[in-house]
Amino acid sequence: MNRWLGMCIWGLLSAALCIYMAKRTNQRAVQEYPEDKKIHLSYVWNRRMIAMLWGIVLLSLCGGYAASEKAVSYTAWIELTLSYAAVLSAAVMDYKLNIIPNRIPLFLMVSRWAVLLYELLSDTFVMENLISSVLGFVVCLLFFLTAGKVFPGGIGKGDIKLLAALGFSCGVYTVFSTLLLALFCCVIVSVMLMIMKKVTLKDYLPFGPFIWMGYLCMILLAYSQYK
């Protein structure tokens, strides 16, 4: 995949997704809280939100360049791109509404099956990729179900579904690298916010944006090859 073309695609895709998802969350907030003017104002495109949009686009450009350089095939690049679109959409929804809709993990699952079907029809050896996907899904799901029993309320069901679907889409290495980096980003941001007295230990931070950060960091820093 041409690195510059991949970079442009990721940049345009991230901008379009952020604008679209922000519009959708705005509409949903207005419908659910029609009389709360403060909520409506929080969705206005002010300088802060425009700066965040440009920041996401610039980071996405870097991610697109790295993914195009390191993906071992076109189908691998497509899967990385679709997964990035999904985690970015989930990040915006979770940041705005504290939810991750089921259709986002479902999109990841369906897209992975579509890629596997294409690989099968094109006579590409698909068994290794299928095993990696199944292991990524099962191991991730079992890990979080066990962790949920030990630490109830530690991570939301939407986050678990998203990470399990990401494991199916990209494999064990990707999902656990993403999780580790997401937790690291979460700790850093939480400490900074507490120092600035923006949050306390009792406050809740949506984990979706950190999954996006972890996935992007995984591509930029830790990705040597796909699967």
Digit-coded pLDDT (tens) for 107-129: 999 999 888 888 777 766 667 77
Q: Domain of 186?
A: 3-222
Kindly state whether residue 138 falls inside one of the protein's structural domains: yes
Q: Count the neighbouring beta carbons within 10 Å of the beta carbon of residue 52.
A: 14
What's the average model confidence in pLDDT over 121-142? 79
- When divided into structural domains, the chain yields a total of 1
Q: Which amino acid is at 225?
A: Q
Kindly state whether residue 190 falls inside one of the protein's structural domains: yes
Long-range contacts of 94-97, Cβ-Cβ distance < 8 Å, separation of 24 or more: 94/158, 94/159, 94/206, 94/207, 94/208, 94/209, 95/206, 95/208, 95/209, 96/21, 96/22, 96/25, 96/29, 96/43, 97/25, 97/28, 97/29
Kindly state whether residue 227 falls inside one of the protein's structural domains: no
Kindly state whether residue 208 falls inside one of the protein's structural domains: yes
The answer, yes or no, to whether residue 10 has pLDDT greater than 50, is yes
The answer, yes or no, to whether residue 3 has pLDDT greater than 90, is no
Kindly state whether residue 105 falls inside one of the protein's structural domains: yes
pTM over 0.75: yes
